[in-house]
Copies of this chain bind each other. A is one copy, B any other.
Amino acid sequence: MHRIRVANRHYRRSSMERTIGIGLLGAGTVGGTLVRRLIGESDAIAKKTGLLFDVRRIGVRDLGRSRAFEITEGLLTDDPFAVVSDPTVDIVVEVMGGLDPAGDLVLAALDAGKPVISANKELISARGPELIAAAERAGVPFLFEAAVGGGIPIIRPLSETLAGETVTRVLGIVNGTTNYILTKMADEGSTYAAALEEAKELGYAEPDPTADVSGADAAAKAAILASLAFGTWVGFEDVHYEGIEAIAVEDMVFAADFGYTIKLIAVCDRTGSGVSARVHPAMVPVEHPLASIRGPMNAVFIEGPAIGSLLFAGPGAGGDPTATAVLGDVIDAAREMLAGAQVAPRIMMSPGEIVPFEDVRTEWYMHLMVDDQPGVLATIASGFGQAGVSIRSVWQEGVDSQAALIVVTHAALESSQRAALASLEQIPEVLEVAAIIRVLGDES
C-alpha cells in the first residue's frame, strides 16, 4: 500500500508565504454556500490542493439581511468596488449576477491584475470578448465554469480537453427549471401551468420565471457553449430563442406516440457557412441520450469528427453544485497565480460567420386542426412544396369535420419552413395551427 505524500517544494514555499485572499461579490445562494465551504472545509481543501483560502471581503446589496453563514464582523460591505480594490483580496469571485454593476466590477478587478471567477452567464454572453481581452491584457485567469451547467464540468473540457477537436455540434439541456416542467408534463400529463406552479413550490422556478421559461437563460448559456466549442464569438444577441410556454400536453402525447420526447434544447452548429446557436423546444428521439435527462438535471452532448460523441450530465443549478464549480475555478486560478505566470488564454476567438436563424436548416412537427375535406392534404403539400419544404410523414386523428393533422417535414431552411407555414393561411380547410415544434435531427 502506498502512503506517499507527493512533495512539492514550490507550493509549500508559496503557501507558507501567504494565504490567498478571496473577495466575494454577492452572497446569495451560491455565494453563501461558497463562504460556508471556504470556511468549513478549508482543512479538506488544503489537504487535497495544498491551498489556504481566506474570505477577506463580501459585497452585498443589503447589509441588514440575515445570512446563512457566520463571518467576522466588518467583512460585509455594501460597496462592491471596495471588495475589488481591497489590497488583501487576491482573487475576486463574482456571483452577484446581472449586467450592472457586475460588468464594471469584473473589469475593474481584471484591470487591477486580479484573477476573476464568475458564474454570470448573462454578463459573459453579453460582454465576453471585452472581459476576456481585459484578462489577457492583465495576464490573469478569467474563469467561468459555473456559468453553464451549474456543477457539471463543461467549460473546462470544451476549452481545454477538446481544444484540438473541430467540434461540429453541441446540444444541451441547460435550464433545469424548464426541464423539470417538461418532465412533469410528459410523465404525469400535468399542464404547463400546473407544472410551473409545482416547480415554484419546490424552488426549481423563481417567483418570476420569465428568464427560464422564455428560453433566455438557456440562450445565454448556448452563446457561451458555441463560443468555446467553435472558437468564434457568439453573443447572446446572436442566439434565436423560444420558450416552452406554448407546449401543450396533447403534443407531449403525440411526441411519445411517435417515439419522441419534448425538451428545451440549445443547439449549437458548425456548418460550412458558419456557426449558429439557438434555443427552442424540440422533439428529441427517445433513444437520444438527452431524452433520458429528467427533472432539474442538465446535460451537454458534444459531437466532433474525432471524438464521436460525448455526454456530460449532472445537476445544472443549486447552491452546492454551483459552488463546487466556482471552487474548482478558484483553486485553478490560485494555482496559476502562485506559479507567477503570465497566463496564456485557454482559447482563442477567431473571426467567423454567424449563420442567421433563417438560414439554419430545421425539421418541423406541425399540429394542425383541419376540416377533413378530400384534397386538403394535397393542397397543403403543394403549398409546402412551393416553399421548398418536403413532407416526411403525415398522421391524422379523427375523420370528423375537426381532424388533427400531424405533419412532420424533412429538413429545410427555417425561412422556407416559415413560408410553408404562411401558405397554410391561404387554405380555408386549415382551421388552426395548434402547435409547431422543431424536431431534433441531423439538420446541418
- The answer to whether A48 has its CB under 8 Å from any CB of chain B is yes
Among A165, A314, A352, find the residue whose CB has the most chain B CB atoms closer than 10 A: A165
- The answer to whether A350 has its CB under 8 Å from any CB of chain B is yes
Binds B, one of A69-77, A106-114, A129-137, A254-262: A129-137
Contact of A47 among B312, B321, B350 (CB under 8 A): B350
Chain A 128-155 interface residues, beta-carbon cutoff 8 Å to B: 129, 132-133, 136-137, 139, 145, 151-153
Chain A 371-386 interface residues, beta-carbon cutoff 8 Å to B: none
- The answer to whether A233 has its CB under 8 Å from any CB of chain B is yes
Q: Report chain B residues within 8 Å CB of A318.
A: 308
A43 to B192: give the CA distance in the assembly, Å. Answer: 49
Q: Is the CB of A165 within 8 A of B324?
A: yes
- The answer to whether A310 has its CB under 8 Å from any CB of chain B is yes
A310 to B150: give the CA distance in the assembly, Å. Answer: 11
Q: Is the CB of A344 within 8 A of B350?
A: no
Taken residue by residue from 347 to 363, chain A's Cβ proximity to chain B (1 for < 8 Å, 0 otherwise) reads as 11111101000000000
17 A-B pairs (CB sep. < 8 Å)? A3-B352, A4-B129, A8-B348, A11-B344, A14-B344, A33-B306, A44-B166, A47-B348, A49-B348, A151-B310, A161-B325, A165-B324, A289-B313, A307-B321, A307-B324, A311-B311, A311-B314
Q: Which residues of A contact B (CB under 8 A)?
A: 1-11, 14, 33, 37, 41, 44-45, 47-50, 129, 132-133, 136-137, 139, 145, 151-153, 156-157, 160-166, 231, 233-235, 238, 289, 292, 304-315, 318, 320-321, 323-325, 327-332, 335-336, 338-352, 354
